[in-house]
A and B are shown apart, each in its own frame.
Chain A
């Protein structure tokens, strides 16, 4: 199978100037609509429809998480309410401020193994699929790739 066989058409996206609330709302809507679960990110397109970034739940949590906890084991000493109070520091930030700008993409006619490679090496769960001109065609989700593996082993989905 190739990337285009598994990709899901883009039915929701953000613009760099959107508020972060827009992201939360959209993520919730998609979860209730789509059969596939585990959508964690949304593509960010500019006015011309060009892919300029991707915003994930991870990006938002990382913006709230204090960097000094990274290399230490100090989370033992955090307190109730700390996360909520630090969350306020991203109030007013826009999608464009927190999105990942260097987006890893895959070409639509490339094999699935390449998709898995990108997902594992970069720890991402959503991979935008683009054509040879760089135009966004759809998204591949980690869960769909997993089901492809599962199907290969045990046949079609129940």
Chain B
């Protein structure tokens, strides 16, 4: 195949695959795997490229990090620890409706910063439904605010949200870098979020006094199923988190740390047959990533991504502040409507290519961590993660919440979700914009 033909074939596979993923006519994992298979079958990339090349192939760092965290959660889930936390939170809020909304949002945000957002929402939402039923409250505002909070919280750390995991791996940024650069602004965004909720819901939610007694009568200790396994899990989680904090210094990838945590918990949990723990791993999600990485590898190889990055630089005339603003706002709106995972998978090589055009003499860490490039990574992370809040399909947590509400006979329309999600998303991106501008372009710290 001539380079010219290869370029158009790869571009066609890429566009077709993304169009099918957006249309949801065929399951996204099937589309991604088919696209990947075509890239290899048609000789755009070799199998060697697809499976082993750090530049063009599957990012196993992302896959193993996600896999390991899923294993840890699958072991922890049946212990009752999450139900315990949620019931305890509702009691801490004294059964007061707005306080419950705030406490649940904050708890969701904090848990989401360390666990996958979908998992967090799947753990918190059932308790929310029960609490709302006990208090005779409309569950819809609670579910929506939790989904939004989980996306905000997930933005704070390397492991909080898949875009961050992908950016960290491609850009070689460590856990502490994410914590230092993203967590501060996420805290501000979360505070602003809670204040905004106060304006929207503050005085609207009321509850009868006798119903509050139902909450106060709940004994969270009853939720604990396996106290020994909880202790073991928390021990392993503590080791894993310490490992994440130190992984830069230890010169280990986050996937290594997480794999060690998962294997250690499997070993000490006393589980004899790991079959059910492993079968509950979300293989569909993992293979979606695998397929996407190979598709992206194809369009990187033929030079499509290079072409796109040149266009972006042309547009912003090499002004990096303008570029980072474009990246953040474009990412936010793109992620509100399409899955942020394929989006970030495309943007990562695009930003790297941009860096190569700007500093052709640099390579490796010197290139990827160029001080002028750093704000671009953070803008991409902030835009792609926070953007998910814009619509009901912007983030997986939103999709889960909408599905749950529908099952409860309280469907949340696309419009209704957007009514809350879009303004709150824009608020958060405005805060992120001011933060990036002040921190990286005014004070330059």
- A interface residues with partner B (beta carbon < 8 Å): 66-69, 71-74, 76-79, 82, 86, 89
Contacts and interface: CB of A to CB of B under 8 A. Distances in A.
A68 B125 contact: yes
B407 A74 contact: no
A77 B87 contact: yes
Contact of A73 (B83, B407, B409): B83
B423 interface: no
A69 B134 CA distance: 13
19 contacts: A66-B133, A68-B125, A68-B126, A68-B404, A68-B407, A68-B408, A69-B126, A71-B126, A72-B83, A72-B126, A73-B80, A73-B225, A76-B222, A76-B223, A77-B87, A77-B130, A77-B222, A78-B130, A79-B214
A134 B274 CA distance: 45
B48 to A, nearest CB: 42
B399 interface: no
By Cβ-Cβ distance, the 7 closest A-B pairs, closest first, are: A68-B126, A68-B129, A67-B407, A72-B126, A77-B218, A76-B222, A79-B214
State the main secondary structure of chain B at its contact with A: helix
A157 B194 CA distance: 70
A79 B134 CA distance: 8
Contacts of B445: none
A79 B217 contact: yes
A68 B218 CA distance: 18
B281 interface: no
A73 B126 CA distance: 10
A74 B130 contact: yes
Point out which of A72, A76, A82 has the most chain B C-beta atoms below 10 A from its C-beta.
A72
B127 interface: yes
Interface of B: 80, 83, 87, 125-127, 129-130, 133-134, 214, 217-218, 222-223, 225, 404, 407-409
Contacts of B222: 76-77
B402 to A, nearest CB: 14
A66 B217 CA distance: 20
Contact of B408 (A66, A76, A79): A66
A74 B134 contact: no
Given A67-B404, A69-B126, A73-B80, 13 more contacts: A66-B130, A67-B407, A68-B407, A71-B126, A73-B225, A74-B126, A74-B130, A76-B222, A76-B223, A77-B222, A78-B130, A79-B217, A82-B134
A69 B407 CA distance: 12
A72 B84 CA distance: 12
B212 to A, nearest CB: 12
State the main secondary structure of chain A at its contact with B: helix
A67 B408 contact: yes
A11 to B, nearest CB: 35
Contact of A68 (B130, B134, B217): B130
Contacts of B125: 68
A143 B382 CA distance: 62
Contacts of A74: 83, 126-127, 130
Contacts of A67: 404, 407-408
Contacts of A78: 130
Point out which of B83, B217, B225 has the most chain A C-beta atoms below 10 A from its C-beta.
B83
A79 B131 CA distance: 11
Contacts of A82: 133-134
Nearest to B407: A67
Contacts of B134: 77, 79, 82
Contacts of B409: 89
A86 B130 CA distance: 12
Nearest to B130: A74
Point out which of B130, B217, B407 has the most chain A C-beta atoms below 10 A from its C-beta.
B130
A67 B126 CA distance: 9
Contacts of B223: 73, 76-77
Contacts of A72: 83, 126-127
B110 to A, nearest CB: 20
B129 A66 contact: yes
Contacts of A71: 126
Nearest to B122: A71
Nearest to A72: B126
Contacts of A69: 126, 130
A148 to B, nearest CB: 36
Nearest to A76: B222
A89 B410 CA distance: 12
Nearest to B225: A73
Point out which of B125, B129, B409 has the most chain A C-beta atoms below 10 A from its C-beta.
B129
Contacts of A79: 134, 214, 217
Nearest to A74: B130
A73 B217 CA distance: 17
B20 to A, nearest CB: 30
B293 to A, nearest CB: 31
Contacts of A76: 222-223
